[in-house]
């Protein structure tokens, strides 16, 4: 199906081998209603199927990454309606993106917006970024992984405080806590995200995919099983031409040219 999203701008070749997905629902501060989440899931799946794309950058605007799930839409919903709409299944589709995903976050990343940044593999933040789980102030709680991913990223005490008070943290605090990789000035955060994406795009896409899977597995299983998974993916990299190229290039003292095969 060709891409024709209403609330997103998708640029498959924003940089060599790096795609950009930009949330574009400015009047509602990129509030994540069902259609926007559906478009994100579809765009990521299309980009995953595009062999020219090796890394994806997901961003919002300078003012806002995303202000959370759509409160207007949710305000009248019943539990059964929320269950039937099943927006969470779209989050699962996004989580399954097998190409490296870098969030470039400026301004508000609140509720589902913070959760969306945490579904990504790495986060580059602008100095103005704010990360928070304010759901409790609406009489609800996080539903897009906030209690789980945030806790794993920043530890129990900090996650408890954020989830139970709704108080956001600054970009610098998020960096200190390990929630974001790096903080850049407002005018440069997207470039910084591209730089990180480009560094990954120079690597073997096969190895990147297998390594991403293995790192993610560390959050999902115990050590023995995780090490076993890692070992199998490690052996699998030897089935790729990229492994031969990477090692030959090292021995011939030249840069490797990875093909993703």
Applying CB under 6 A, does 171 fall inside the site for ligand CO8? Answer: no
Applying CB under 6 A, does 72 fall inside the site for ligand CO8? Answer: yes
| Contact between 107 and 63 (Cβ < 8 Å) | yes
Q: Of 60 and 144, which CB lies nearer to ligand CO8 in the complex structure? A: 144
Applying CB under 6 A, does 111 fall inside the site for ligand CO8? Answer: yes
One of 113, 115, 146, 153 is an active-site residue; which one?
115
Sheet strand arrangement including 108-110: 64-66, 108-110, 130-132, 169-170
Q: Which residue is nearest to ligand CO8 (CB)?
A: 111
Applying CB under 6 A, does 65 fall inside the site for ligand CO8? Answer: no
For residue 112, indicate whether it is catalytic. Answer: yes
Applying CB under 6 A, does 29 fall inside the site for ligand CO8? Answer: yes
Residue 202 to residue 55: CA distance in whole angstroms:
10
> To the nearest whole angstrom, how small is the minimum distance from the Cβ of residue 8 to ligand CO8?
17
Q: Of 167 and 218, which CB lies nearer to ligand CO8 in the complex structure? A: 167
Q: Of 70 and 121, which CB lies nearer to ligand CO8 in the complex structure? A: 70
Applying CB under 6 A, does 60 fall inside the site for ligand CO8? Answer: no
**What's the per-residue H, E or C state across 137-176?**
HHCCCCCCCHHHHHHHHHCHHHHHHHHHHCCCEEHHHHHH
Quick one: 32 exposed, middle or buried, by C-beta within 10 A (0-12, 13-18, 19+)? buried
Query: Within 121-150, which residues bind ligand CO8 (CB under 6 A)?
Result: 134-135, 138, 143-144
Residue 90 to residue 86: CA distance in whole angstroms:
8
Applying CB under 6 A, does 256 fall inside the site for ligand CO8? Answer: no
| Contact between 143 and 134 (Cβ < 8 Å) | no
Structure tokens at 150: 């945030």
Positions touching ligand CO8 (CB under 6 A) are: 28-29, 31, 67-72, 87-88, 108, 110-112, 115, 134-135, 138, 143-144
Q: Write out the catalytic residue numbers.
A: 69, 112, 115, 135
């Amino acid at each position: 199906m060709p891409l024709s999203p209403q609330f997103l701008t998708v640029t498959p070749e924003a940089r060599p081998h790096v795609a950009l997905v930009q949330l574009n629902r400015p009047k509602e501060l990129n509030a994540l209603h069902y259609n926007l989440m559906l478009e994100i899931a579809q765009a990521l799946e299309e980009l995953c199927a595009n062999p020219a794309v090796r890394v994806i950058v997901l961003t919002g605007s300078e003012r806002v990454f995303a202000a959370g799930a759509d409160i207007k839409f949710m305000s009248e919903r019943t539990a059964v309606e929320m269950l039937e709409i099943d927006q969470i299944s779209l989050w699962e589709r996004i989580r399954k993106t097998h190409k490296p995903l870098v969030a470039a976050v400026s301004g508000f990343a609140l509720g589902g917006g913070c959760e969306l940044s945490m579904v990504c593999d790495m986060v580059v933040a602008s100095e103005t970024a704010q990360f928070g789980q304010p759901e409790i102030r609406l009489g609800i709680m996080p539903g897009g992984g906030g209690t789980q991913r945030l806790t794993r990223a920043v530890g129990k005490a900090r996650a408890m405080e954020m989830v139970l008070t709704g108080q956001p943290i600054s970009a610098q605090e998020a960096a200190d806590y390990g929630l974001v990789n790096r903080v850049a000035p407002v005018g440069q955060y997207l470039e910084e995200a591209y730089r990180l994406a480009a560094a990954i795009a120079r690597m073997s896409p096969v190895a990147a995919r297998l390594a991403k899977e293995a790192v993610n597995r560390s959050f999902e299983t115990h050590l023995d099983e995780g090490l076993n998974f890692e070992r199998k993916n490690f052996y699998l990299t030897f089935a790729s031409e990229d492994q031969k190229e990477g090692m030959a290039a090292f021995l011939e003292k030249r840069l490797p040219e990875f093909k993703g095969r």
